Amino acid sequence: MNNAPIGLFDSGVGGLTVARAIRDLLPNESLTYVGDTQNSPYGPKPIADVRRYSLEVLDQLVEQGVKALVIACNTASAAMLRDAHERYDIPVLEVIQPAVRSAMSITRNGRVGLIGTVGTINSRAYDDLFSMRPEISLTTQACPRFVEFVESGETTGPEVLRIAGEYLEPLIAQDIDTLVLGCTHYPFLRGAISQIVGPEVALVSSDIETANDVYRLLTDRNLLRDSPLPPTIRYEATGTDTRAFSELANRLLGVDVSHVDHTPTGVIALPGTP
């Protein structure tokens, strides 16, 4: 079990930021990453659909024999985290709680901003967690075009800055000192976001915080890989255009994602559905 890979999934390339952070922290671990490009983007879709898509992918990862699951997608985490914990016997981690913990510890004036997809913002998953600290004021903003920019490989330029300014201005007006990047795609836009909000606003990225949680989990449960063989990194995409996924991943991450397997998903029966 220790030498089985960690399974990660996202709607597209955004979760690769989490995979990169895990590789930096745990270079001896094997990873299997699935991008559900067939159904991307998740943000504007109904929560029930996101739940179904997500569980289909997680089922396939479990069938492949991973030792832990990382839901590297905020929208999916908000839609089906409880289902995943009840459905699988292996550990399941997600990206929302680690970011919230970090933001709570960082903020100085108690005014925190959150940007995310429409699905994540409407789920109020972050609001529920921040409500445990009533002295913290949370201001949220959906940024639907951010995922579109990243998935098209556009992370800089005048249009990105213009849209970022429109999205972030209401948060700046609230005098936030901490901004949660509530989507794993958003770290690719860190430069533009930081330029708009300024150096006094701390950016909290779920990729690094989630990698820290993975490290703690594997250490606490004695699940660290101990094989003398080199670790493996496998990339899969549910959409048929695996070359586009590979090219975009290479461009954004600057690492060799030379081969991406096509792994189509099928409809599965969910509890409470026919």
**CB-CB contact of 53 with 42 (8 Å):** yes
**What is the C-alpha separation between 239 and 10, in angstroms, rounded?**
13
**What is the C-alpha separation between 34 and 43, in angstroms, rounded?**
17
**CB-CB contact of 42 with 12 (8 Å):** no
Token pair, residue 254, equals 């600057």
Token pair, residue 119, equals 């699905």
3-state secondary structure of 230: coil
**What is the C-alpha separation between 22 and 235, in angstroms, rounded?**
15
Bridge-partner residues for 202, per DSSP? 178
Q: Is 73 a catalytic residue?
A: yes
Which residue out of 31, 55, 61, 73 is catalytically annotated? 73
**What is the C-alpha separation between 135 and 90, in angstroms, rounded?**
36
**What is the C-alpha separation between 112 and 107, in angstroms, rounded?**
7
Q: Is 143 a catalytic residue?
A: no
Which residue out of 8, 70, 183, 237 is catalytically annotated? 183
**CB-CB contact of 160 with 190 (8 Å):** no
Q: CA torsion 202→206→209→214, rounded to 10°?
A: 180
**What is the C-alpha separation between 233 and 33, in angstroms, rounded?**
8
Neighbour count for residue 265 (Cβ, 10 Å): 18
Q: Which residues are catalytic?
A: 73, 183
